Amino acid sequence: MPILVTTPNGGVGRHLTEALRERSDVRYFVRSEAGAKALDGVRGEIFRGDVTDAADVRRAVVGVDRLYLAHPFAEDQVAAETHLGTAAVEAGVRRIVKLGARPFAGDGILPDAVTGAHDLITARLHSVGVPELTVLRPDRFL
Ligand SMILES: NC(=O)c1ccc[n+]([C@@H]2O[C@H](COP(=O)([O-])OP(=O)(O)OC[C@H]3O[C@@H](n4cnc5c(N)ncnc54)[C@H](OP(=O)(O)O)[C@@H]3O)[C@@H](O)[C@H]2O)c1
């Protein structure tokens, strides 16, 4: 199963799901019943699990070559993305595309928590040796 997609119903992820819906080599990591239902009609595999659950993550990354990694901005974001990314690398993933965010910058602007979380996750992904890492940094669209 070459591609693992997290948050396939997310603000960004649902557009990725639309682009991949005819492909059979995609695994969609989805937590809720409603989320699984929303993926009705995709050709790939719907994987039910929670990214904060170590056993779910271990099963989800088996056989995966590429990972789209995203998680809502929340208290568990750094741990969840770091753990999933690390497990994926250990399972042989070649490429991770991580959803980040464009940092706010400029005179008098303090570093923000969203940017801090993405920077920390990105540093940890580098440190576990992801062969190919792409970090997307879109502007805030809310
Ligand atoms: N919004 C912006 O303006 C903006 C701009 C730039 C970057 N970003 C970045 O975008 C990222 C969020 O991406 P997004 O907006 O595409 O996603 P999102 O809409 O926040 O993702 C929501 C999805 O996450 C799933 N989810 C939450 N906790 C989960 C868990 N423990 N296990 C499995 N699935 C879980 C939920 O699945 P269920 O429904 O099945 O529970 C839900 O469908 C953040 O890192 C943020 O910094 C946002």
84 touches ligand 1 (CB under 6 Å):
no
Question: Is 86 within a domain?
Answer: yes
Cα–Cα–Cα angle for 125, 129, 131, rounded to 5 degrees:
100
Instruction: State which residues form the domain around 76.
Output: 3-136
Are 63 and 83 spatial neighbours (Cβ–Cβ below 8 Å)? no
Candidate of 16, 56, 99, 136 to mutate for ligand 1, largest count of ligand atoms within 8 Å of Cβ: 99
Residue pLDDT, tens place only, 14-60: 999 999 999 999 999 999 999 999 999 999 999 999 999 999 999 99
Question: Is 68 within a domain?
Answer: yes
pTM (2 decimals)? Answer: 0.96
Nearest residue (CA) to ligand 1, atom 36: 7
Residue pLDDT, tens place only, 91-137: 999 999 999 999 887 888 887 899 999 999 999 999 999 999 999 99
Q: How many domains does the chain have?
A: 1
Question: Is 141 within a domain?
Answer: no
Where residue 45 sits, what CATH number does that domain have?
3.40.50.720
Question: Is 13 within a domain?
Answer: yes
Question: Could you tell me the distance, in angstroms and rounded to a whole number, from the CA of residue 107 to the centre of ligand 1?
Answer: 30
Question: Is 120 within a domain?
Answer: yes
Question: Is 89 within a domain?
Answer: yes
Question: Is 142 within a domain?
Answer: no
32 touches ligand 1 (CB under 6 Å):
yes
Question: Is 106 within a domain?
Answer: yes
The percent of the chain in helix, strand and coil, each rounded to the nearest 5, is: 35, 20, 45
Of ligand 1's listed atoms, the one at least distance from the Cα of 114 is: 47
What residues contact residue 108 under an 8 Å CB cut-off, 6+ apart? none
